[in-house]
Each structure stands twice: as structure tokens, then as C-alpha cells.
Structure 1
């Protein structure tokens, strides 16, 4: 009876995914190389204007890290036609909201306005691209903002340096070896000429995609896009350097002391392939299988049943060139980090040896089908997905078809990918521990 109920509920869920509305879009290029994607959806009287630039922390000099994230802030300072401090006022006074974010691979800006303010959104993003004012007062102001962000989100946050330490040990040659927020010393040493040069190189139409999503008239939108973006000069052709990493063949060991913690953490991290690959998606499945919720294998076994850990988990850190698969655990009193690592390894060996059950496999399918539906339920999410799939994956239609890749993954692939990437000699073992107090004299 239980099996029948499960099959019925699965069929209902799959039917919902199968009937999920396809995201319709139109794409074209302006003469200056700007790629444009339009998605019309009149369900709500709002419109998103967004621009994603193909620049992230991996595009920085190793002696000037943090530039891309700095520009996420700096390009709100103002333009030739938007006075300093006026950007946020214009948006809010017209009933809109806006924000930006930066990763290793791209920088994303967006506004959400009532649909009758589409022209305003397009004008503002064209101003950011064509007429940014980059001066010393803006640089000095944002320098303090970024420093405060680093203090609050990383330096003073318990376990706030995990990603930093993992990256600098996992990557030896690739710019992924530093964090997106970068080095404050590098930003302090940067001249105004450095900032202007970085802007001129990367924040150009032929290194970006413009997405308009929501309730708008296509014909009118195209006219405004040509009016505001068509006159922007094409930038110099970008030839991005490719960085290769040698495979990890021997366990990397590292230790980091964090003055903000009292409980040590064990971290095991594996370097993984580009998020565009099929193997990376299989690793997504493995991560969810091991630690997605309290019913996952690691949590149920190590936290609930054996009570060896306060917390246990894993996640994939997806990137354009390489990724990371990171597992972590906080030992319960009376247990050690080595105890947790042995338990984690035992669960990985099970995946490498035996096929996961049909029930667990179907659970994974349900998780990713649900994520697929949720990611495309609002125009904000759709706008970002359209930009991401074009700029980083090279295939906009993945917004509709990526779920088919996940649906095609097999239990056999899960076993083989685990055997391929998740071996003890292919990883970093990080002892993330409290600061050891100096002996009193």
C-alpha cells in the first residue's frame, strides 16, 4: 500500500513538472555586440531590466584582487547624468527595487520596476554602461563599504574563512584561488587609473547580456533598447586566458585557526569539473543524497543515529571553469574530527560500491524537479536564469531543458562519478580549529 501511495504521489509530481510553463524568449544582438534577451510575461504589472557582465574575480590580477566585487559597489556611485547618491533615490521614488551581486565568473545588476517604468530601467542600465563616473571620492567611499562588508561577513563571522582557505589550497594556478571579496591591501594599493582601466576593459556591451523580463510591449522595448544601448561603443575584443590545474593525486593537508569559534570543524574538499558538465550535475545529486535535509544519509547516520556530530553537511560550489565539492562536520563532545571523517568516508565508499536505492534515486529526482519549477516561478528568477545560461553556459534554452539532463542521470552514473572524483588522494583535508591560546608566562 505504501509503495502504491509513493508511486501515485510521484506520478502527480512528475505530471506537474511536465506541464510547467515553458519560458518563452527572444534573443538578438546589437551592432556593438550586446546580447539582448526578451521574455514577456503579463502575469504581474512589473518588469525586470538586468545586465550581466562576464567579469568576476577570476578576471583580476593576482596583485589586484577584489576589483570585480568592488565594481559591484562602485557602479552605483553615479553617472554623467545621475548625480552621486541619486541612484537609489530614483529607483525607490519610482516604486522600484534594485541590487547587484558578484561571483568568481560574472557580475549581475538588476532593477524591478512597475511595468510603466521600463524606459527608466533601460536608461539607468545604459548610463551605468556608457557614462559611469569613476573618481577618487567614489573609490574612497566604497573602499570603506567593502572593508566593513569583509569584517562583518568574513573576518568576524564564525567559520567565515572556510571558503577562502579551501580555495587557496585547492587551486594552485587558477584565479579561483582567491575569494571574490579579495584583498583589502590590493584595493588600497590600486590607483584611480587601475579602476578606470578595469572598467574600460570589462564593462562593455560585447562582454554583457541585457535581459528584459515581465510585462512590456516588445516593439516598444526594442526601440528603447536601440535608443539607449545602441549608441554605446563596442569595447576591445576580450581574449580571456585559460588556466589549467593539474589533477590532485595526493591528499592536501591544511590547518586554519579561527578566533571566532570554539568547536573545531573538519572540512574535506574535492576539486570538481566545470558546472557545465554532466559530471558536475551528477555531483549535485551526490551532494543532495548525502546532506540535503535531516533525512539525508550523513545527517541521519552521524547526527541522529550515532550522535557523533552536532552538524554535518556537504555542498557543491559551482563555477564556470572548475568547481568544489565540500563536506564538513562539527564533532559532538567525546568525538573527534577524525571520527567524523571516517564516517563520511564510509558513506562515500557505499556510493562508490553499491547503487543507491530506487527510492533514494526517485527522491533526488523529486528534489531537482521541484527546484526547477521554483527557479522559474517569478520574473526576477527567470531574468537571472536567462542571463546565466547565455553568458556562462552558452545555451539560453537550458532554462527549459536543464531538468531533462538531471532526469536522465542514472544510478550507475552516481556510482561511477563518486569513484572518479571522491577519493582520499584527490582532496584537501582542512582542520578548521579555534585559536590556540598562548601559554601564560
Structure 2
């Protein structure tokens, strides 16, 4: 009893501390837009001598056409090939030699580049991102090189990875019209069939200042940084092509869809995916909190029931995909040795039904709120995290200040809201179900 009381007090203390941080440590920033359309966000934090320089291009796999998938992710690689003023293969070494690191990532909705540098190397980061935006090399040598790199990545991370095709199978089954049915990695065939002119057209369409957000956080002086941005970015011309924004609405799903996938695995798995509203909507916040309730730690409902108590699974979790258009809420579990896949699915369904029918008690709800508050603080605890979140909030929501206030949207979610969204969205007719089985179980 004493231990339970201590744990409860610890959770409360963590929650109060996180809430105090969100209220007292407001993240100050300056934002403006250059005449060429480049949106700039600057956050000054002189506590450590480093800086994050990032550029978010509002282009992801959602912007691609059927038959030409994988372009956004391909460009994430191609943009490290070099520019008119940076020799091929030198992009990474220049940052590393300056004591920094760099990386990039692509999603359904965006492509994001960043450098983490000593603050006295800010000009280098800005120059290199300006070079990427204005003078990138889009030539046959770079395209052929990166074709091979992307193909090898797909083989390694998806085709030859146990459960690696989970994403492409789930999204292909869940979406019939919307381009979310294409995973960012794309297909070999589409990339191999694309001509050099198509790659150059993609660059001229999307890699333009009016489709980009430059977000800088760290040990900077605002006015000095503005001058550097003017020096490196102001002369880059605004894009002249119309930027495609798909307006396809996925038809409402009215009956369950199921699929069996035979994979190079030993333990079966069950994946359920439910259609949910886009990020930023009130119901999305309730569903996000529901995810934390189901799988936010070892003591959360799915692992506690399926892994610890029933020992039917070795892994059990839920994942909401935060997407600009309506996305998916996944629950998945990998079966324990000897457990039948149908029994595992029944156990997963039982936990979903609990959320729908049982009232969430005050103690568990307070723990949930504390977890959300703590996560909110942690994701903004580094200059890299702040630079990325400021850019995301501006692009997706049109309000960078949500970096300070979005927690209030979570705190508005009630116990009744969580129960309501579970009943509204986690229904049989609104889901797809995949059973992953070992290839040895495939009928001859």
C-alpha cells in the first residue's frame, strides 16, 4: 500500500513539475517571411554554444502521383549529392569537419533537413541550406547513385526485415483513393522508370523558398542571424510553378477489410488499423491520449494484459499516425510462442472493448495526464527539438506558438472524450486487420 501511494505521489510530482515547466519556460521566438516566400522562425537560447539549423519542405509522399512514387524520399538522399559550389560527396564531411552532425527524414507530408553545429558555425549551416535550395545537383550521376542507395535501403529496412512490409500492407489496405496508400519509400519500378527531366521538375516545383520553412534554434543573436539569412537566402527566386496540394478525400470505410501476409518470421502478429481524423482536431488529441493509455509504458493496458498477465504476446502496443489529412490508429501485437493468431486478436479486441465500456478511474486518468505533460516538456528539451516543432506547428497548423500552448488542447480532453472516441472510431467496420504468419504456415 505504501509503495502504491509513493508511486502515485511520484506521478503527481512529475506532472506538476512538467506543468510548471510549460507555464514558466515559455519558448520565445521571432518569425517573419522573406519577399521570396521563405518563412523564418528564430529561437534564441544561449545556454549552450550550439545551434540547430533546419529547413522543412512541405512535400512528402502525399504529393506524388501514382506511377511516380518515392520522389520525396528519393530527394532526401539526392540533396546530399552536392551543389554547384559543394563537390559531390562533400556535404556531410563539411559539417562533420566543423564539429557538427546532420540528417534528414521524409514522411507522408514533409521532408526535413537539419544540421546541429557549434554556434560559431551558424553561417556554414545557412550557406549549405541555401546551396541546397538554389544550386542542388540534379544530374544523371547523382540520380543513378541514389537510385542504388534507395533500393538497397528498401531491401535492408523493408523487404528483408521481419514484419518490414507492415506499413505498406496496412496503408495499401486502408486507403483506396488517398495518396497515403503510397509509403514514402516508393517503389523500385517507379524510380527506375523516371526520367532526369522529372526529377528536375520535382526540384523546381517543391524545393523553392515559398514551400520552405527555415527554423533556427540555439546560441544565436536574432539581429545578426537575420542579416545572415538575408545574405544567403534573399536572392533565391520564388518558385514559379504551382505547388500541388492533393484534395482527395478518402471514402468512408463501411466494412472490415482483412489480409493474411506470409513473412519470413517465427512468431505471428496481428495488426489492426482504424481510420481517425487529422492531427490537430479535437478528437485526434483524445485518440492520442488513448494511445498512451493503451501502450504508454510497460504498465499500460495492452502490455500489462497481453504480455504480463495473459502471456499471449511478446510485444503489444498502439500507434496513432499524426498526419496532415485523416490518418490511422494502429494496434499491434506479436504472439508469444504457441499462441494462435485468432486468440491473440481476441485478446486485443477485449482490451479495446474495455476502453469502450468501462469508466476510466481518476487515478489512471491523472497518470495519463501526467505522462502527456511530461512528454510535451521532453520533446522541447533540446534546441533540435524546438527547431523542428516550431517548423511543424507553423506548417501544419499555421501557428508556431502551439509549441507553448498545444498542451492545453490535451488537458481539455476528458475521461468521457476518451471513451467516446474509442466507441466512435475503434469499430470493426472502420478498420483493416492483418495477420502476419510464418511462411511455413502458407498453404502449399
TM over 0.5: yes
Partner of 1:430: 434
- Aligned counterparts of 1:306 and 1:96: Cα–Cα separation in 2: 48
Partner in structure 2 of residue 13 of structure 1:
14
With 17-26 and 99-108 compared, the bigger mean Cα shift is at 17-26
1:107-118 superposed matches below 5 A: 107-118=111-122
Root-mean-square deviation (CA), in Å?
Answer: 1.7
- Asked whether 1:106 is paired with 2:110, we answer yes
Contact map agreement 2:62 2:246 (CA 8 A) in 1: no
| Corresponding position of 1:176 | 180
CA offsets 1:288-324 (integer angstroms, 9 cap, x no match): 2112222111222222222222322221122110221
Q: Which residue of 2 aligns with 1:197?
A: 201
5 Å-filtered alignment, 1:127-276, equals 127-236=131-240, 237-258=242-263, 260-276=264-280
> Deviation of residue 19 (structure 1)?
2.9
Quickly say closer, same or farther: Cα 1:311–1:437, change in 2 above 3 A. closer
1:253/1:37 Cα in 2 relative to 1: closer, same or farther (>3 Å)?
same
Instruction: Output the CA distance in 1 between the equivalents of 2:19 and 2:298.
Output: 28
Report the alpha carbon displacement of residue 144 of structure 1 after superposing the two structures with TM.
Answer: 0.8
Deviates more, 1:279-288 or 1:411-420: 279-288
How far has the Cα of 1:8 moved from its partner? 4.4
Specify the SS of the correspondent of 2:397.
coil
Q: 1:354 to 1:439 in 2, by over 3 A?
A: closer
CA contact (8 A) 1:50 1:210 kept: yes
Distance 1:309 1:4, change over 3 A: closer
Where 1:19 maps in the other structure, the secondary structure is: helix
Equivalents in 1 of 2:107, 2:138: separation in Å?
22
**Matched-pair contact (CA < 8 Å) for 2:12–2:367:** no
Following superposition, the deviation at residue 437 of structure 1 comes to: 7.0
Using the TM superposition, give the Cα deviation of residue 212 of structure 1 relative to its aligned residue in structure 2, in angstroms. 1.3
| CA separation of 1:290 and 1:15: change in aligned 2, threshold 3 A | closer
Distance 2:302 2:108 in 1: 29
Q: Residues 83, 175 of structure 1: CA spacing in aligned structure 2 closer, same or farther, 3 A cutoff?
A: same
Q: Say if 1:74 and 1:339 are closer, same or farther in 2 by CA, change over 3 A.
A: same
Q: Supply the distance in 2 between the matched residues of 1:239 and 1:178 (Cα, whole angstroms).
A: 16
In 1, are the aligned partners of 2:69 and 2:186 still within 8 Å (CA)?
yes
Using structure 1 for the length normalisation, give the TM-score: 0.96
In structure 2, the partner of 1:300 is: 304
| Inter-partner Cα distance in structure 2 for 1:112 and 1:211 | 12
Matched residue, 2:400: 396
CA contact (8 A) 2:15 2:374 kept: no
Check if 1:358 corresponds to 2:378.
no
- Structure 2 residue aligned with 1:336: 340
Q: 2:125 aligns with which of 121, 124, 144?
A: 121
The offset of 1:4, in angstroms, is 6.3
Tell me the CA shift for residue 96 of structure 1.
Answer: 1.3
Q: CA deviation at 1:13?
A: 2.6
Please give the residue correspondences for 1:312-391 in structure 2 after superposition, counting only pairs within 5 Å. Answer: 312-391=316-395
- Mark the runs of 5 or more structure 2 residues left unpaired by the alignment: none
Whole-angstrom distance in 2 between the partners of 1:133 and 1:438: 47
1:281 maps to 2:282? no
Unpaired segments ≥5 residues, structure 1:
none
Describe the shift of the 1:19–1:288 C-alpha distance in structure 2 as closer, same or farther (beyond 3 A): closer
Higher alpha-carbon deviation: 232-241 or 243-252: 232-241
Contact 1:26 1:38 in 2 (8 A): yes
**TM-score using structure 2 length:** 0.95
2:410 is aligned with 1:409: no
